[in-house]
Amino acid sequence: MEVAIQCRDLRKTYDRKVEAVRGVDLTIYAGECFGLLGPNGAGKTTTIEILEGLLEPTSGEVEVLGRNWRTHERELREQMGISLQETRLSERLSVRETVELFASFYRYPNSVESVLEELSLGEKADAWVGKLSGGQKQRLAVATALVANPKVLFLDEPTTGLDPQSRRQLWEIIRQFQERKGTVLLTTHYMDEAERLCDRLAIIDHGQIIAEGTPAELIARLTGHHVVEFAISGRSDGADDQVWRELPGVQGVRAEDGLFCLQVNEPHETIPALLSEVHKQGARLEHLTTRQASLEDVFVQLTGRHLREE
């Protein structure tokens, strides 16, 4: 498979003190959608901006499309479409004028009209940027990247702060770009986004990659693919939580906000045992659900924290 982006032992230290990125290795193949998943402040933006050639790494090697930013910057820029986190485009230009401006920087841009059409901005083409909704602004940011007719699309938190409908709209746009053999690198702190959109992803925490693979692989690696969540009341004081760990099939136990989460392999073995244990303790079951394990559970198992906590 053709490699689109590669980096080895990437490190970035700010002011000789803050280590934002501490030894990241990544290989991203042409045509795939790769996600950097992690909480805020994990080093996602620093990593993607180094790969975009906007930040100089303190040490480490970066290659994009087989080229180096130091020696082939212009050539590479022609083939990258980039959407930064929180760019506020000029409010007094219209949508079309903005996309035309960005198109003018590239030697062989896409047609402005077709990009506007693809991102459902045709109706808003003559509206000022200042009058757009959050979702429309985010689509415009992606439009300024797509009009480059890029081979690689970098998206830093493309759906942060968007309503569910706008997010799904953007996912669809990214998939269409992928269908045209485009490579996508995106950062997100949304689990569902990473799970549904990305072919592969790296979970990043404190500037390091702590897990990498397809979403299914990462979940499969988890001990216990199902989660049983329950809440009880009326327990005698001093009861030991250890009892849950000894139920059949339980791989892990977490307690959060009065809710117990059991990671289990076979729910049908665990649940009857759970019910009789609750009965034995003379407690009452207030809540019981089961679900498939998600990337959130992977992250919690790896770090002991939730993604959105920070």
Query: At what angle are helices 134-146 and 95-103 packed, to 10 degrees?
Result: 20
The residues in 112-131 that bind other proteins, with binding defined as CB under 8 A, are 128
- Rounded Cα–Cα distance for residues 218 and 191 (Å): 12
Instruction: Judge whether 140 and 146 are in contact, CB under 8 Å.
Output: no
Among 138, 149, 169, 263, binds other proteins (CB under 8 A): 149
The nearest distance, CB 63 to other proteins, in angstroms, is 18
Tell me the three state secondary structure of residue 105. Answer: coil
Nearest Cα neighbor of 121 from 100, 144, 88, 95 is 95
CB under 8 A: which stretch of 78-86, 231-239, 256-264, 270-278 binds other proteins? 78-86
- Cβ-based nearer residue to other proteins, 102 or 299: 102
Residues 166-225 that bind other proteins (CB under 8 A): 180
Buried b (16+ CB within 10 A) or exposed e, 241-250: eeebeebebb
Q: Of the ranges 32-40, 95-103, 190-198, 247-255, which one interacts with other proteins (CB under 8 A)?
A: 95-103
CB proximity list for 29: less than 8 A, separation 6 or greater = 1, 2, 3, 4, 183
Q: Does 256 bind other proteins (CB under 8 A)?
A: no
80 makes contact with other proteins (CB under 8 A): yes
Nearer to other proteins, 180 or 280 (CB): 180
d(CA 39, CA 288): 28
The token duo for 247 is 């139920």
Least gap, CB of 67 to other proteins (angstroms): 14
Nearer to other proteins by Cβ, of 82 and 228: the residue is: 82
CA distances from 6 to 1, 62, 63 (A): 13, 6, 5
Does residue 104 interact with other proteins by CB under 8 A? Answer: yes
Answer for which of 19, 78, 199, 296 binds other proteins (CB under 8 A) is 78
Q: Enumerate binding residues for other proteins (CB under 8 A).
A: 52, 54, 74, 77-78, 80, 82, 84, 86-90, 92-93, 97, 100-111, 128, 144, 148-149, 180
